[in-house]
Structure 1
Amino acid sequence: MTAAELSLGAVVLAPLLAAALAAALPHTARRALGVGIAALVLLLTGLLAVQTVAGEVTELALGGYPAPLGIHLRADGLSVLFLGMTALVGAVVTVFAAASRHTHQAFWTLWLGCWAGLNAVFVSGDLFNTYVGLELVGLTAVALVALGGRGSWAPALRYLFIAVLGSLLLLVGVGLIVSVTGTLDVVQAAEVLAGRPDAAPAALLALTLITVGLCMKLALLPMHAWLVPAHASAPSAVSPLLSGLVIKAALFVLLRCWLWLTDSSGALSALAPLAWGLGAFGAAAVLIGSVMALRQSALKPLAAYSTVAQVGYWFVAFPLLLEEDAAEGAFIGIVALALGHGIAKAGLFLGAGYLKEAYGTDEIEQLRGAGRQHPYAVMGMSLGLVGLIGLPISLGFTGKWNIATAAVAAEHWWILVLLAAGTLLSAGYAVRALAPLLLQESPTPGEARISRNYRSVPGLCVIGLGALTLVTGFGGVLIAEALEVGAPW
């Protein structure tokens, strides 16, 4: 067994075993365990990335039983990119949680379990284990929201209902796929569907159910009502994980099903009505989510509505996946936007949570001049907003550029207009969030409650994610090359 193959299993099992161990440890030991697992997952992900850079897909059949009988793990370019983003964001948020005195003891077991579920989704080669990974992510995410106190219980319960309903639709869709293909393995199922035209109606129904279920988990408008209260009421170390990482699992599965379960010769054309419906909802999400973000008076709800808008960009590109000349560019654009959003939004939520802990509120007007006392945190938030706007030297720009180029190739001019309008609106809510923080006002009285040590480490975590927003912006070419490894075309 090679180091990459060993890493493929360990990247799931290490955080899962640590989650079980954390439940039996004292709080201080849990913090140390969390930071240690974060470092280990970074190392394991790096080993998988080296294999991907070499142009090889890493595969592992657990127990020596190949698909469809055994559990098949597979890490291609798409998997490694999402694993890498999750490892980077997860490591920084873990350090933030370890340094914060407000972190709940149950956070460590739930977060490490969630991390194991995320990694399981990204490396699962079959649909059932993908479903199991999503369930682990969803249930732990709901519990993490509930750690915010009594005020977060109602949003957590609503999130639970949506997560369960979405999972039910996903499971029914998976059942339809296995009923017509006889296998749960994604690659094998795609080969069967390509050779059986008579299975097209059942496959279309299955993909429709899977898409609707995953869109509920992604909070695509109009199925977004659960996201804002859940993300806004979650603890400071949880909101970045929910917006930056958790919803990316559903997007990953959606891309896997749309592009890997269909024949590259044109089976996607049967999904045209659904793709255009998703595009329309995505366009509405970009505009409505951005306008609602502009209307918010608090940082965390503003960031949550920004997530609704950013999700819309991913779905605006779905009609382009049907166009032969535009599909690859649209795919690269969606992935780049999602990766950039994961890092930038985690930084924005982490900064908002940090300021809320420092001052006891995240109301923008009551945080006037916060940049004077917390320059690292506010600078990190500023860099994150650069990525969310989609300015150059960010993956947001790379993603929008690829989608715009694909739209020109497919002559879908409306997408260019929407991208321009969404960018202007996102600049508007960025100014709305940052301008009061940068004003030179006298410190807020709550400032005296924060120790020097607390101020330095979490603040550096926020600016660290902000710096990653810019550093990863230089990786557009690397992302395109990585997505060629194991690509469905």
Structure 2
Amino acid sequence: MSPAQISLGALVLVPLSAAVLTAALPPAVRHWPGLLAALSGAVLTLPVLWVVQGGQVVELSLGGHSAPLGIHLRADGFSVLLLLLTAVVGGLVTVFAAAFPASTGRHMVAGTQPGTLRWQPAHPAFWPLWLGCWSGLNAVFVAGDLFNTYVGLEMVGLTAVGLVALGRTRSWEAALRYLFIAVLGSLLFLIAVGLVVSVTGTLDINQAALVIAATPDNHAVVVTALILLTVGLSLKVALVPLHGWLIPAHAGSPTAVSPLLSALVIKASLFVLLRCWLWLVAPGMSTNVGAPEAVAAPAIATTLAWLSWTLAGLGTLAIVFGAVMALRQSRLKPLVAYSTVAQVGYWFLFFPVLLNPESGRLEELPVTTLGEDVVIAGAFGGTLCLVLGHGVAKATLFLAAGYLKEIYGTDELDQLRGVGRNHAGLVLAMGMSAIGLAGLPISLSFSGKWLLSTSAIASGQYWIVGVIVLATLLSAAYLLRMMAPLLIEAEDDGHLLNPPERRQSSLPVVVLLPPLALGLLTLVTGFSGAWVVDLLEVGAPW
């Protein structure tokens, strides 16, 4: 067994073991296994990345039993990119939480007077829940079959609900609403899995894709399953109009929880959605992805086209609606949360490119001689660049917003006017992440927009370019709305602003390192767009 194969299983088992260990330890020392798990996650990801970057897919059959009977783990380029994002963001947020225990939530303890209760910072349940969530995330990214994908999604969803509930009482309603959404989304996905198994006889994704391609008579059942899982996973991703749970959950969570939810948790559902569309269904129904003989019946093709355009339309609506709502916010964390609603819309624009019936005639277009597989690879690579860029930038913004709220006891923008002079490093991190979130040059999101735009033009989907331009302008507007009050030093009449009173005098210097590191990564990763596209070719279905 190679080091990469060992790492594949350890990426799931190490954080899961650490979660069990932290639950048994006293609260004061629970952060140590968390830090060790974060370090282990980074180390274990490297052998997998090394092998996949060399052009090979890493596979492991647990217990020596291969699919469909055994548990089959698989890491291709798509998996590795999400594992890497989880290791980086999860590791830095873990450092933040360990250095700043109050950021992990509040819990009730007995007061000084008999029969009274008081709120105590540093929630002891954070570490078991977060490490369990980390294990679930890695399980989703390396699962080779649909059942273990479902198990991983359940771990992520239930632990994320628990993390949301670590705030004060106002977070409990948001957690309960999130629980209903998580259960409903998982139920729809599980029904879809049952339908796929009923016509393919296997849970393994690659094996099921081969059966789907070989049995056109079952395509109607498969498309029904695809619709169900798309609705269920869109609930978990918070695609407009299914986004209502996200704002109170992300904005009302503790400081160390919000970046995990926005940067990582919703990515698990998006990963499964894209995996099912591209690896499970498209090879047997789309000539653009599968073999030339993979042709769906006209009714099936029409249904898939309708579904792809519906997702793109909702994505466009999400971009506009999320941006407008972000502009209307007076508090920092809800503004950042609504920007997630807007950014989610980007991730659904490429579906018409995937199933565009005109893309089979690309050689006839005067603007390009690219083949269908190259265009789809570019659109998918651009989408993944946007996903990764969003994860890094959004983690920065939520950490910074939570930091300011902990220091001053509020995230009202009017009350935070002028605080930038006292937190230059934090504002610098926010500025770098704002560049990335807006998709300006030298950021990874800019590379993603460029790749998606060029692929859209190559396939004749010119409207996508217009949406991206509009979205960039709207992003710049609400990010300016976020940054401007923090940088104001004087009133209109020239009088200097008095910064608000601090609720806490100071925090450890190490607390500033995670947002600064993530802000810097937002820009540094801007040069890795071509690398992301090349890595996605490893194990790709086209």
User: TM-score, structure 1 length as denominator?
Assistant: 0.98
For 1:484, the equivalent position in structure 2 comes to 537
Whether 2:184 is the aligned partner of 1:165: answer: yes
Whether 2:324 is the aligned partner of 1:291: answer: yes
For 2:476, the equivalent position in structure 1 comes to 427
Deviation at residue 410 of structure 1 after TM alignment: 1.6
Whether 2:271 is the aligned partner of 1:252: answer: yes
Q: Percent identity?
A: 60
Contact 1:321/1:328 (CA < 8 Å) preserved in 2? no
For 1:83, the equivalent position in structure 2 comes to 83
Determine the C-alpha separation between the residues in 1 that align with 2:262 and 2:14. 23
For 2:29, the equivalent position in structure 1 comes to 29
For residues 413 and 355 of structure 1, do their structure 2 counterparts lie closer, same or farther at Cα, with a shift above 3 Å needed?
same
Determine the C-alpha separation between the residues in 1 that align with 2:425 and 2:183. 39
Contact 1:359/1:444 (CA < 8 Å) preserved in 2? no
**Unpaired stretches in structure 1, ≥5 consecutive residues:** none
For 1:411, the equivalent position in structure 2 comes to 460
User: One-letter code of the match for 2:502?
Assistant: E
Whether 2:415 is the aligned partner of 1:366: answer: yes
For 1:119, the equivalent position in structure 2 comes to 138
User: One-letter code of the match for 1:251?
Assistant: L
Whether 2:166 is the aligned partner of 1:179: answer: no
Of 393, 396, 401 in structure 1, the residue corresponding to residue 450 of structure 2 is 401
User: One-letter code of the match for 1:83?
Assistant: L
For 2:519, the equivalent position in structure 1 comes to 466
Deviation at residue 24 of structure 1 after TM alignment: 1.1
Whether 2:172 is the aligned partner of 1:153: answer: yes
Deviation at residue 330 of structure 1 after TM alignment: 1.4
User: One-letter code of the match for 1:413?
Assistant: Y
Root-mean-square deviation (Å): 1.2
Deviation by residue 1:258-314 (Cα, 9 ceiling, x = unmatched):
000121245584511100000110000000110100110111100111000000011
Contact 2:409/2:503 (CA < 8 Å) preserved in 1? no
Determine the C-alpha separation between the residues in 1 that align with 2:186 and 2:422. 44
Whether 2:260 is the aligned partner of 1:241: answer: yes
For 1:447, the equivalent position in structure 2 comes to 502
Whether 2:270 is the aligned partner of 1:221: answer: no
Determine the C-alpha separation between the residues in 2 that align with 1:174 and 1:38. 32
Determine the C-alpha separation between the residues in 1 that align with 2:268 and 2:244. 19
Determine the C-alpha separation between the residues in 1 that align with 2:192 and 2:355. 21
Deviation at residue 370 of structure 1 after TM alignment: 1.6
Determine the C-alpha separation between the residues in 1 that align with 2:82 and 2:295. 26
For 1:281, the equivalent position in structure 2 comes to 314
For residues 443 and 16 of structure 1, do their structure 2 counterparts lie closer, same or farther at Cα, with a shift above 3 Å needed?
farther
Determine the C-alpha separation between the residues in 2 that align with 1:156 and 1:295. 24
Q: State the number of aligned residues.
A: 487
Deviation at residue 442 of structure 1 after TM alignment: 4.8
Deviation by residue 1:17-47 (Cα, 9 ceiling, x = unmatched):
1001001112232111111110110000111
**Matched residue SS, 1:73:** strand
Determine the C-alpha separation between the residues in 2 that align with 1:455 and 1:356. 16
**Matched residue SS, 1:220:** coil
Contact 2:129/2:159 (CA < 8 Å) preserved in 1? yes
User: One-letter code of the match for 2:136?
Assistant: G
- Structure having the higher helix fraction is 1
After superposition, residues 129-144 of structure 1 pair within 5 angstroms as: 129-144=148-163
User: TM-score, structure 2 length as denominator?
Assistant: 0.88
Contact 2:408/2:503 (CA < 8 Å) preserved in 1? no
Structure of larger gyration radius: 2
Contact 1:377/1:460 (CA < 8 Å) preserved in 2? no
For residues 379 and 470 of structure 1, do their structure 2 counterparts lie closer, same or farther at Cα, with a shift above 3 Å needed?
same
Contact 2:100/2:508 (CA < 8 Å) preserved in 1? no
Determine the C-alpha separation between the residues in 2 that align with 1:466 and 1:457. 15
**Matched residue SS, 2:501:** helix
**Unpaired stretches in structure 2, ≥5 consecutive residues:** 105-122, 284-289, 360-371, 490-495
